[in-house]
Structure 1
């Protein structure tokens, strides 16, 4: 029985699940990680003379996934509560007397499972970083192309002041820049060896415990540590939070696309292909399906992230249930983040933009989007508060009489005896963009200064090569 088959069918994962993250956290990936850690332990102990070199080689040769009876492994795991005892016995059964008693020598179950998890998390973070790079590269191209594409900036879902589409994308690009930095900074705290024995003292590993741990970390290409983390799960909580907040960044884009693709706005749209986002009954519909998937993925990740402080509650030297929370939540968060990024890449690389509609929408509310610009011009002579009151009255009159601000402002100014303070030609949207173009340049420059990701260890098969 394949362990993962016992889970309920998820329509969200079936349609939007990221295959790379699903592969990294599959049942076979877990087994491969456990086996890689057992191989590394035996090799390290053989090199240090704790067990013979011949025994170490025999164990490493036997600890391969082709010898694993999965049905028996999961049956034993259900009875024991954990999989490593059953796995060790299956490895030992392949060996003659002597080396069969040197498998898992001095180790505890959580040493193997945590080190294997660290391998998975390392691969997961590399894959997430590669997706972030692809997503950000696409955004950077769009931001540069539309650095001067004027559109209404919106606050509280209402038009506020003019901006450019490139500037709005640049703020998200800045967030992706920070996420890549966070991933790089977190990796040493997350992809970390765990090899401290039953109670965290390494007593069973003997006098060379430190050397064994260092060598196993080196063989597995994990970061080293001299402090046990069996019950210190802040690194895993940090990983989970990163996954949730990366999904949240994708949802930021998705919500904007949903809003801007509304018929009444019509400025930005998802990629189009025949029947993409189609309705079963309304032939005209082109629903923003990638954005909808991202919002669902991000919302689910946010809910799961609420469990992260709970996994840090594990007491004494071993958890009593908190560990089991991780088994479900951590892989789910990684898959949700990877899936959200996959859909965000689809949007960013195929986004359709109607620059003419953006320009037209500046006049949608009678040109009131320029109210602050006119206030700031008058503030020099009148003071900000008096200018605010005058423009406020002109805006209210424009809205109530269904006229435009460019007509009501001179009228109100004349009534107040301030008509001479108005310029001959009122400020336009193109004149009131502030740092918008520079923001694009700065965001793209910061993005391009990050190192290029070259993914490694992104498939289960790669783990089979570790230490072999």
Structure 2
């Protein structure tokens, strides 16, 4: 543990992935394997019952297995040896016909399934918070910015709706991903199931049913595309949250201050500061996961029927991606729950702009009355006056150049937000399917 773990880690997710959880999941797989083998007559029924009972109650000390795991290059091996020792006279029937990677991969999927339930719940909760915020601020006009420049009016609700929009798609992707990911691994030493042929397919299906997993016929010892797909999904989720974090950093900076979210961190030497720590963490977590996707893709380069170098990359990378995603969702919920606009700061931003962001609107309005090229020349002349004269607004300049129009109303930010209010209040089809 390091001092910054509280910010970038997530206790609830980490508990599903730590050493005790890993051992528990592997023992769950071994118990299911013994039960299914007893039912199918592959091992004696009474031995199967005893092995399953021992596996259900065994609680080895993870520290005692560290050296064995390092020697074997896989965590399952020392646990299997411990289970065999605990089963005494039934030791020969423990782990019968399986390989260590079968147990470790299957256990990892069980752990991942638990984590994905947490992430799904948090995604859904975040979507609900953002929906409420978008609707609450659907009509609040504020400057939109493109390429870090003020562009045109939008509403805060529309901006929040953009943050929210990917979340249902991420939930749909997760539902589509689950059947490809949540698979048992039970194929034996070289992936052929030869040790228990011809019973291995039936055994695989029985163990999968016990564990609530799918049972593909083709081994995935060396084909890790589903893991890579999961990593991509995790990075897309944190990337979405990172975009929101980046926006909140910019909206909350000192000279803007249009939106505040969460509780800022202080400076050790500048008491006036309130640093956007949580929003910054969202950006950092997104970038860390984006980099980790490349490492997981490296793990897809899996030589022959099994490759320890590829597996090690996955084991060292994927758990942290899951934890980071949990942390990002936790932080995003906290930030958005406390998200508050500053109407005065928004009004000040509009005032400083003096209507220049409405130049496009002015051009389109005039085009309805005069030729397009003339309309654009007039707007350009008005913008030149705004730039040259420190207190002239675009509406005032246009009033002088093209009188007879209510330019103050025509160029009101609230009258030029287009579909922003509708976007903020829009309910997605995903909400109807829930």
Aligned with 1:398 (options 386, 408, 418): 386
Aligned with 1:278 (options 242, 247, 266): 266
**8 Å CA contact 2:141, 2:155 repeated in 1:** yes
Partner of 1:408: 397
Partner of 2:29: 37
**8 Å CA contact 2:395, 2:407 repeated in 1:** no
Partner of 1:448: 431
Partner of 2:294: 306
Q: Deviations over 1:50-105 (max 9, x none)?
A: 112211111111114644243332111111222222212211112232x2101111
**1:257 equivalent in alignment to 2:237:** no
Instruction: Sort the Cα spacing of 1:300 and 1:423 in 2 relative to 1 into closer, same or farther, 3 A.
Output: closer
Partner of 1:118: 109
**8 Å CA contact 1:108, 1:197 repeated in 2:** yes
Aligned with 1:90 (options 62, 79, 82): 82
CA distance in 2, matches of 1:433, 1:214: 57
**1:60 equivalent in alignment to 2:52:** yes
Partner of 2:142: 151
Partner of 1:344: 332
Deviation at 1:314, TM superposition (A): 0.3
Q: State TM-score, norm by structure 2.
A: 0.94
**1:73 equivalent in alignment to 2:61:** no
Q: State TM-score, norm by structure 1.
A: 0.88
Deviation at 1:253, TM superposition (A): 1.3
Query: Aligned-residue CA RMSD in angstroms?
Result: 1.9
Aligned with 2:359 (options 357, 362, 371): 371
Structure 2 counterparts to residues 290-305 of structure 1, below 5 A: 290-305=278-293
Aligned with 1:225 (options 195, 203, 216): 216
Relative contact order, higher structure (CA 8 A, sep 6+)? 1
CA distance in 1, matches of 2:152, 2:371: 20
**8 Å CA contact 1:266, 1:357 repeated in 2:** yes
Instruction: Sort the Cα spacing of 1:226 and 1:388 in 2 relative to 1 into closer, same or farther, 3 A.
Output: farther
Partner of 1:430: 414
CA distance in 2, matches of 1:123, 1:383: 64
Partner of 2:311: 323
- The structure carrying a bigger helix percent of its residues is 2
CA distance in 2, matches of 1:65, 1:57: 13
Instruction: Sort the Cα spacing of 1:70 and 1:423 in 2 relative to 1 into closer, same or farther, 3 A.
Output: closer
Partner of 2:180: 189
Instruction: Sort the Cα spacing of 1:73 and 1:379 in 2 relative to 1 into closer, same or farther, 3 A.
Output: same
Deviation at 1:303, TM superposition (A): 1.6
**1:215 equivalent in alignment to 2:206:** yes
Q: Deviations over 1:124-181 (max 9, x none)?
A: 1111111111111111110010011111111111111111100110111111111111
CA distance in 1, matches of 2:409, 2:72: 81
Instruction: Sort the Cα spacing of 1:19 and 1:385 in 2 relative to 1 into closer, same or farther, 3 A.
Output: farther
CA distance in 2, matches of 1:111, 1:281: 55
Q: Which runs of 5+ in 2 are unaligned?
A: none
**8 Å CA contact 1:374, 1:391 repeated in 2:** yes
